[in-house]
A and B are shown apart, each in its own frame.
Chain A
Amino acid sequence: MTRVELKDVTFGYNPGHPIIKDISLVVEEPGLYCIIGPNGVGKSTLVKCLNRILAPTSGTVEIDGVDVATMHRKEIARHIGYVPVASDDTFAMSVLDTILIGRYNHRSWGSEGRDLEAAYRAMKLLRIRNLANRNFNELSAGQHQKVAIARGIVQETPVLILDEPTANLDVKYQVYVTELLRAFAEKKGIAVLTISHDLNITSKYAHKVIMLARPGVVYRVGTPREVMTKENIEAVYGIECSVEEHDGYPYIVLGGPLMDDDDRVDDLGGFEKTSRIREFASVLRGAVPKRRSK
């Protein structure tokens, strides 16, 4: 198993406005790692720093003790596979050809049989064998997602990152894919990192949960039982909840949102707000002709 370590990683497009800040993490055991946290907290940014799609502003990422900044992209690609959020391809190929692209780093003369077999297995696993010869752009969003996951799986890397693999999937396939990724991680002895939004699916299937909070920091890392607590979820997501024990997993029941920021709607009473706006409007209307008459 490859060991990936982030040491005080900070990244921002503008200096002074980091998206993620001083993140330190170690991934060295096989398993399903789910990264959770509210919108805009830097989940995608974090995973992109792992394989140098983005270069950290400060701090280092090491694969087996080697700084990725000094590694060739090809070498990083041998350790870490990555599946972005699914999107349309401008010039789409068949599903089978699209999945075969994932074998790019395994290809050599005469490797075609093995590549086809890997692609076929991945299609079978994701239950999309019937789509093999369909054009990628003819598919639904959920089918796109499954093809993208298959393309990730056939890379056969010791670490596999998937950015929101269950987005666009219906409930059944959200559960199926997450379950599959967990089983795949165990079976292959690899680390699968996913970004997830569903707290209950995460708490049921993740081996480890990485919880990010504003402003782009790691809030907690640990087993679902350790991380998915009422206090943590309320603090990070700003939503009331209760956590129960269900089938041996923490089960989260969501309550109302906790609106304690500046955008509170009830700061100005509804009527008062409208009358204030009218006031402003009449001032503005008055101002324009006055200037003209001068």
Chain B
Amino acid sequence: MEEWDQPVDSDASLESTLSYYLRNRLWKFAFIGICFVAIFLVAGYTITIGSMNISFVETYETIWNHLTGNIVNDGFDFVVWDLRMPRVLAGIIGGAGLAVCGAVMQNTMKNPLADPYTTGVSSGASLGATIAMTVVGGLMASTNVTVIGAFLFSLIPVGMMIAISKMKDASPTTMIMAGIGIMYIFNAITTVLMIWSDPQQMQAVYRWQVGTLDIVKWEHLPIMGLVTLAGVVISMLISGRLNVLSTGDESAKAMGIDADRMRIWCLVMVGLVSAVIVSFTGLIGFVGLVAPHITRLFIGSDNKFLIPACAVFGSMLLIVADALGRTILSPNVIQVGVVMSFVGGPIFLLLLLGSRKRMWSS
């Protein structure tokens, strides 16, 4: 017992423990840095895609010129800034938001399969947005109404999840089953409502339904960006609490955190962020599922690093998926939502089957 009061500075193993710990942390920062660089490169490349030939260097030159208010080539400026930038920025914002939503959901629900898509939150938002559009008229007729509609309807699956999390014998799979059930119902209603949408916009509506970045305009980006940024920052601020919550509800309560209340607020936040993103990009699935899992493989589960790393990794993932969709069958374009389903579906199955024993029995 005397050991407790002895100085530990001279311990040889303290040295090695701490240096390993610090090196490990350095790697976590490095991972975030690497994702940033990748975003820069992929974003630049994505902007070069299109009928007008603009090189990678010219792309960033044009952006730089626009930002410094010294536009040299009007044609380049129009194509890069007005036509191609919103798409990339929407990918960066949407990827970050959905990935962080997924990480927060997986943690608060203690469910590795949870993400806004698999739990039906995105479908709820999509239905809400559709109702708002058909009532008010036209795709993206009024940004605010669409977003509010999406948020309100995303609260239906959120409420359902809270109810299921209170059930004693609900396994993680129960929640996903319920989410998929609600997704079918909501998507069916959405499809029916589409009957009343303008036939000329059907093409755009269809693309929106499968998830796409190409209908996002500059005027949509501020609200998308602000809400997502707020969501990411709040998640980072509560990352310590998320860690405590991961030790179990009772242990969290004993450390001063009301687990139930925290779960509800987190899910409402997830609902809001995903609703705003879905309002503009449609149903892009699996980002919130795939990004946290891959990020955990690289840097572990500590939420202090997981949340910011997820945000940058999610951004990268979504713009890479978009770039793939636009180049792989060029000149045909595969919507980013479809690409994400190709990537996310198998990973979802892997998670479901890989951890099946534990999930069904718990």
- A residues with a Cβ closer than 8 A to B are 48, 51-53, 72-78, 80-84, 87, 89-94, 96-98, 101-102, 104-105, 107, 116-117, 120-121, 124-125, 129-130, 132-133, 135, 151, 155, 161, 180, 183-184, 187
Contacts and interface: CB of A to CB of B under 8 A. Distances in A.
Interface string B291-329: 000001000111000000000000000000000000000
Contacts of A107: 240
A96 B21 contact: yes
Interface of B: 1, 3-5, 8, 11, 13-14, 17-18, 20-21, 24, 106-107, 110-112, 240-241, 243-244, 246-248, 250-251, 253-258, 296, 300-302
Given A83-B251, A90-B110, A105-B256, A132 B17 contact: yes
Contacts of A121: 3-4, 8
A52 B253 contact: yes
B248 A84 contact: yes
5 contacts: A73-B253, A74-B256, A89-B248, A91-B107, A187-B4
Contacts of A180: 1
Contacts of A90: 106, 110-112, 246
B284 to A, nearest CB: 24
A137 B248 CA distance: 15
Nearest to B17: A132
Nearest to B24: A133
Given A73-B258, A77-B255, A94 B300 contact: yes
Contacts of B107: 91
Given A73-B253, A132-B17, 12 more contacts: A89-B247, A90-B110, A90-B112, A91-B106, A93-B246, A97-B300, A101-B243, A105-B255, A120-B11, A125-B3, A125-B4, A155-B255
Contacts of A130: 13
A87 B248 contact: yes
Classify the secondary structure of B's interface with A: helix
Nearest to B243: A101
A73 B8 contact: no
Contact of B254 (A53, A75, A135): A53
A93 B255 contact: no
A85 to B, nearest CB: 9
A146 to B, nearest CB: 15
A81 B254 contact: yes
A132 B256 contact: no
B215 to A, nearest CB: 35
Contacts of B111: 90
A129 B11 CA distance: 11
Contacts of A96: 17, 21
A48 to B, nearest CB: 7
Contact of B244 (A94, A104, A125, A133): A104
A101 B3 contact: no
A101 B107 CA distance: 15
B17 A104 contact: no
Given A80-B254, A124-B8, A101 B247 contact: yes
Contacts of B243: 93, 97, 101, 104
Name the residue among B1, B18, B106, B107 with the largest chain A CB count within 10 angstroms.
B1
A120 B20 contact: no
A93 B305 CA distance: 12
Contacts of B20: 132-133
Contacts of A124: 3, 8, 11
A236 B11 CA distance: 48
A88 to B, nearest CB: 8
Contacts of B8: 117, 120-121, 124
A78 B18 CA distance: 27
Contact of A133 (B1, B17, B251, B258): B17
B254 A82 contact: yes
B1 A183 contact: yes
Contact of A116 (B1, B4, B18, B257): B18
B17 A101 contact: no
B263 to A, nearest CB: 14
A97 B254 contact: no
Contacts of B257: 73
A124 B244 CA distance: 23
A84 B3 contact: no
A75 B257 CA distance: 11
A125 B20 CA distance: 20
A101 B3 CA distance: 23
Nearest to B241: A104
A74 to B, nearest CB: 4
Contact of A51 (B4, B17, B254, B296): B254
Contacts of A72: 256
A161 B20 CA distance: 32
Nearest to B14: A120
A116 B243 CA distance: 16
A90 B301 CA distance: 10
A82 B250 contact: yes
